[in-house]
A and B are shown apart, each in its own frame.
Chain A
Amino acid sequence: MKKLFIVTMVVLLVVIGNIGCAESGSADLSVSLPTVEGQSGKPEFKDKIKYKDFGDSIIVYKVKNKNVGIDDVDALGTQLGLDGDIGYDDDGQYVMASRGEKVAAQLYVWVNSGAMEYDSFVFDDVDPTDEIDPALLASLPSEQEAKGIASAFLTDNGLMPSDGISGIEVSIGGSVELRNSETGEIVMSNPTHWLIQWDREIDGIPVAGSGADLSVRVGPESTIQRVFKCWREIEGSYKELKIKSAQDAYEELINGKGSFYTDLSVKEVIVDQVELVYWMDSVDQEQNYIVPVYQFSGTCLDADGVAIDEQPFQGWCEALK
């Protein structure tokens, strides 16, 4: 009888323990904040932030992991006009290509995130006898045309998200310059393509991180050069959890608990903005939860107090308490 009682208690304890794990212990809500490859200085920080009230809690969402398979890749590739074999590598990435004599297109799909990349390009598209880089002479469609071409490509191929879009930005995605190192002169320059990017938000909160990417690059003759989409779908809310204040996050940031980088030439940083964002991990990472991060921005100053335009300040700190 005594033995039976002990066995029953042990079983009950194990069951209760497992329930506890499933409810809270197993959820990994940490994020990988960026680190950079430059020697970081130890600048003085000035807090010029006009703090907004971000509330004291936020909903953490569960990601709908899609289990991308070869059939999904085949369907998407076929939709994009590819007809080659499908390969798979150990890093969890499918690849499918279509190669003609002059043109080729290639599709990558990442299993862990469902992200996709589509590239198209022309083989041997230059004449070695030319005296000048043809990219210096090529002309792009207008900004409005490029935006329309990019949107139509996404829509026609079923790649346009049905919700969550908060804005579209169109910018020059790349350029080519011919320079003279003796005179320091830029002899010629030309943009190489437009970059059209769609911003995302969840519950009105912007989405950031290297895994927050929906973009199309449109080149000369209105060609789609590259499409990149990492748009993790939401399965539903996980929990509403407490967040620290932006002021507390700022203190953590300047005391080394967050992530930021300033070059050795930076002597002072003026931080003037903070946003609460939802963070998206890299495309090859399996991400189960969408968690908030405070994203700080501002200006870096050199020893003479002059703003260093090429080095805008950005820093991040986890927001969950």
Chain B
Amino acid sequence: MSKFIIGIIITLLLVVVAIPRAAFAGNGDYNDATNPQFGGEWTNEDNINWGDDDVEDMYNALQDAGWADTWGGSFMWGGTHAWEQDFKYKEAPGGGTDYLWIDDVDLAWFTGHGSNWRLHFLNPDHDDENLHYYEARWGDHDLEWIMLHSCHVLMDDSLDLWHGTMMMLHLICGSKSTIYDKEDGKNVAKYLIDSDGSGPDVAYTVQKSWFYGCDVHQASGVTLRCMSEYWLYGYEYIWGQGRTYADVPGDPYYSVYTYNCS
């Protein structure tokens, strides 16, 4: 009998492991303050080594702080399981599923190659390898903050382009310059979260967490940026750590915060 139960458990585990991608993420409850969710994807292509650590460190830290686990709607995909369509809106060319993935969580992270007009993915089949800025519409479903650990996404000439992706998204954090492959997810998470609400540390705003967390490892010459749809979002904290402000419809105006690493 016990062998039978063990057999069933092993079979179930094998099925779960064998399925490369679940059919959904998030729980669509929008109870952001009580059940916030995190979604992270990485590619670890070419010379990138720390993408998986970035995402896993962020996931673990947020889960310790009470955010949802993978059963509750958070997710992590890496390598060829990181798909461009997860970031793309439904009606975009080729069809996207951001409403099930990136736009169905509260905080998102991407580590991979980038440039001023796109994010690059390894898998060419879902839907292709490049997410162009015009294929993204973030925040109209759930997403508040997205952190893009990629080179040159927020250059001077691409700010207006990426502003077009902000459909009630609060903040895009990225880099104007090259950004080095470092274990930054862990540090950013430390700043985002006050570990126990009263103990030895305090939480920082999302913007400061991105700047200070990355600056621990990034060298002089690296220029980080955060784009804010509404200036108040530059001063808000993630859910559960301080003040977070309501979504507001976008307009042509937006704020850009720039930080030069030391």
Indicate whether A192 reaches chain B with its CB closer than 8 angstroms.
yes
**Contact mask B156-198 → A, CB, 8 Å, 1/0?**
1001100110000000000011111110001000100001000
In the complex the two chains form, is A213's CB within 8 Å of B178's CB?
no
Q: How many angstroms between the C-alpha atoms of A196 and B243 in the bound complex?
A: 31
Known: A38-B115, A124-B243, A283-B216. A181 touches B200 (CB 8 A): no
B245 interface neighbour in A87, A128, A215, A310, Cβ under 8 Å:
A128
A36 interface neighbour in B180, B243, B259, Cβ under 8 Å:
B180
Distance from A280 Cβ to chain B, minimum over Cβ atoms (Å): 10
Q: How many angstroms between the C-alpha atoms of A207 and B178 in the bound complex?
A: 21
Indicate whether B47 reaches chain A with its CB closer than 8 angstroms.
yes
Q: Which residue of B lies closest to A173 (CB)?
A: B260
In the complex the two chains form, is A263's CB within 8 Å of B152's CB?
yes
In the complex the two chains form, is A197's CB within 8 Å of B262's CB?
yes
Indicate whether A35 reaches chain B with its CB closer than 8 angstroms.
yes
A117 interface neighbour in B156, B179, B216, Cβ under 8 Å:
B216
In the complex the two chains form, is B218's CB within 8 Å of A178's CB?
no
Task: Compute the total of residue contacts between A and B using a CB distance below 8 Å.
Answer: 165
Selecting from B16-24, B83-91, B230-238, the interface stretch reads: B230-238
In the complex the two chains form, is B152's CB within 8 Å of A181's CB?
no
Known: A39-B113, A106-B202, A187-B253. A179 touches B159 (CB 8 A): yes
Residues of chain B in range 51-98 having any CB-CB distance to chain A below 8 Å: none
B255 interface neighbour in A99, A172, A177, A261, Cβ under 8 Å:
A177
Indicate whether A174 reaches chain B with its CB closer than 8 angstroms.
yes
Q: Which residue of A lies closest to B260 (CB)?
A: A173
Distance from A183 Cβ to chain B, minimum over Cβ atoms (Å): 7
Q: How many angstroms between the C-alpha atoms of A181 and B254 in the bound complex?
A: 8
In the complex the two chains form, is A181's CB within 8 Å of B160's CB?
yes
Q: Which residues of A contact B199 (CB under 8 A)?
A: 84-85, 87
Q: How many angstroms between the C-alpha atoms of A183 and B159 in the bound complex?
A: 12
In the complex the two chains form, is A181's CB within 8 Å of B231's CB?
no
In the complex the two chains form, is A181's CB within 8 Å of B252's CB?
yes
Q: How many angstroms between the C-alpha atoms of A163 and B255 in the bound complex?
A: 42
Residues of chain A in range 1-56 having any CB-CB distance to chain B below 8 Å: 34-40
Known: A37-B112, A263-B152. A176 touches B217 (CB 8 A): no
Known: A96-B200, A97-B200, A99-B202. A36 touches B181 (CB 8 A): yes
Q: Which residues of B contact A79 (CB under 8 A)?
A: none
Indicate whether B120 reaches chain A with its CB closer than 8 angstroms.
yes
Indicate whether A126 reaches chain B with its CB closer than 8 angstroms.
yes
Known: A38-B113, A210-B217, A210-B218. A95 touches B201 (CB 8 A): yes
In the complex the two chains form, is B178's CB within 8 Å of A38's CB?
yes
Q: How many angstroms between the C-alpha atoms of A228 and B217 in the bound complex?
A: 12
Indicate whether A140 reaches chain B with its CB closer than 8 angstroms.
no
Q: Which residues of A contact B163 (CB under 8 A)?
A: 179, 181
In the complex the two chains form, is B149's CB within 8 Å of A37's CB?
yes
In the complex the two chains form, is B156's CB within 8 Å of A310's CB?
yes
In the complex the two chains form, is B255's CB within 8 Å of A125's CB?
no
Indicate whether A133 reaches chain B with its CB closer than 8 angstroms.
yes
Q: How many angstroms between the C-alpha atoms of A194 and B209 in the bound complex?
A: 19
Q: Which residues of A contact B (CB under 8 A)?
A: 34-40, 84-87, 89, 91, 93, 95-97, 99, 104, 106, 117, 119, 121, 123-126, 128, 132-133, 135, 171-184, 187, 192, 195, 197, 209-210, 213, 215, 226, 228, 261, 263-265, 282-284, 310-312, 314
Given contacts A37-B113, A93-B190, A106-B201, 19 further A-B contacts (CB under 8 A): A37-B48, A87-B200, A97-B201, A119-B204, A125-B235, A128-B245, A132-B231, A173-B262, A175-B258, A179-B159, A179-B255, A181-B253, A210-B217, A228-B215, A263-B178, A265-B115, A284-B216, A310-B152, A311-B152
Please list the 4 inter-chain residue pairs (A to B) with the smallest Cβ-Cβ separation, ordered nearest first: A38-B151, A87-B200, A133-B231, A215-B262
- Interface pairs (18), CB distance under 8 Å: A34-B181, A37-B48, A37-B151, A37-B180, A87-B201, A119-B212, A128-B232, A171-B260, A174-B211, A177-B256, A178-B254, A210-B182, A213-B220, A228-B215, A261-B151, A282-B216, A283-B216, A310-B155
